[in-house]
Amino acid sequence: MQATQQRRDSNNMPELPEVETTARFIRANCLNRTITKVQVLWQRSVATPSAKVFSRRLLGAKVMDVLRLGKFVVIRLDPAAFLLGHMRMSGSFSIERLVSASHRHTRVVFTFDDESALRFIDPRKFGRFYLINDLNEVSAALGPDALDSALTPDRFIEMVKSKSGAIKPLLLKQSFIAGIGNIYADESLWLTGIHPLRKCAELQPKQVKRLLRAIRSILRRAISKGGTDSGDGVVDYGSFNPRVYGREGKQCKRCRGIIRRIVVGQRGTHYCPGCQKLKRSKGIK
C-alpha cells in the first residue's frame, strides 16, 4: 500500500494553517492507536526529556486526541501526557501502513499497535518534539492563538497599542500572538496596507482591527485550501499564491509598483512601497 503523506513546497513553510492541517491529518490517522515502538534517528529532534526517556515513556501510550497550539502539533496521550511536535522550517509527517524503506530525512518514527507508523521527516533538523505532563508549560509562553475567538479586535488593539517597536517583528513573536510566521506576516501587512516598519503606537485602531481581520482571513483561507486528501493518499496544502512574499522585484498585483525586500528583525521582509507607506502622505507635497 502506498504511503500517506503531506506535500510541501517552498511557499509552504509550516505556519499556523499547515500545522492545523497536519494536526487534522494525524488525528484522522492515529486516533486511538497505541505506540509500540519509538525510533529516534536524530537525537536532537527530541528536545525534552532525553531521547531515551522520551522513547521509553511513549511506549504503551494511546493517542486520545490531536490538536494545534500555535505552531505546535499537540498529541494528547493516555496515560496522561502531551507529545508536542514543532515542524520549524522543513518538518513534515507521513503515515505508512507498511514498514517501507526509510526515507532519506527521517528523524523520528512512531510505530503503532496496528503496525502503521508515523514518520517525522525533517531535512534541516530544526524540528523538535517535547513530551510534557502539563500543557500549560508551553501554552503559558504563548500569546493568544491568532484564530482564537477569545482574542477580540478590541483586545488586539490594546495589545498592539502598548508596544513601542515596529509591527512586523511583533506579529512574528509567538509570545505576543501565536501561529503567524514570516509568510503570513508579510501577506497580512500587504493586505492591510501597513508598512512592516510602522511603529505600533502610530497605528490607528481601525487599521489594527483591519490587520487582525486580514490575518484571520488569510489563515482561514490557507487552512481551507490545505488538508484535502486527494484520494491517492497525498495531503496537499493547496497552492497558496503569495502577493508579496518571495516576489521581490516583481509587480504588485494591486498598484503595479515593484515589490521590495528588506530585512526587519533579522527576517526577510517583503512589501510594496506603493501600497504600504511608512509615513502617511498628505496629498501632493
Partner DNA sequence: CAAACTCCCTGTTAGC
Partner DNA sequence: TGCTAACAGGGAGTTT
Active-site annotation, residues: 14-15, 71, 267
Is residue 139 involved in binding DNA (CB under 7 A)? no
Is residue 107 involved in binding DNA (CB under 7 A)? no
Q: Which stretch binds DNA (CB under 7 A): 85-93, 94-102, 108-116, 208-216?
A: 85-93
Minimum distance, C-beta of residue 55 to DNA, in the bound complex (Å)? 18
In the numeric block, which cell numbers belong to residue 169? 517583528
Is residue 91 involved in binding DNA (CB under 7 A)? no
Query: In 70-104, at which residue ranges do the beta strands (DSSP E only) sit?
Result: 72-78, 81-86, 92-96
Is residue 71 involved in binding DNA (CB under 7 A)? yes
In the numeric block, which cell numbers belong to residue 17? 494553517
Query: Given the complex with DNA, which of 2 and 175 has the nearer CB atom?
Result: 175
- Secondary-structure percent of the chain, ordered helix, strand, coil, rounded to 5: 30, 25, 45
The 228-229 sheet, strands edge to edge: 35-40, 106-112, 117-121, 92-96, 4-7, 234-236, 228-229
Restricting to residues 189-248, name those near DNA by CB under 7 A.
246
92-103: buried (b, 16+ CB within 10 Å) or exposed (e) per residue?
Answer: bbbbbeeeeeee
Candidates 86, 168, 195, 210; binder of DNA (CB under 7 A) is: 86
Is residue 92 involved in binding DNA (CB under 7 A)? no
Beta strands 62-69 and 92-96 are unpaired
**Binding interface with DNA (CB under 7 A):** 13, 15, 44, 70-71, 86, 88-90, 104-105, 123-126, 163-166, 169, 172, 174, 181-183, 246, 265-268
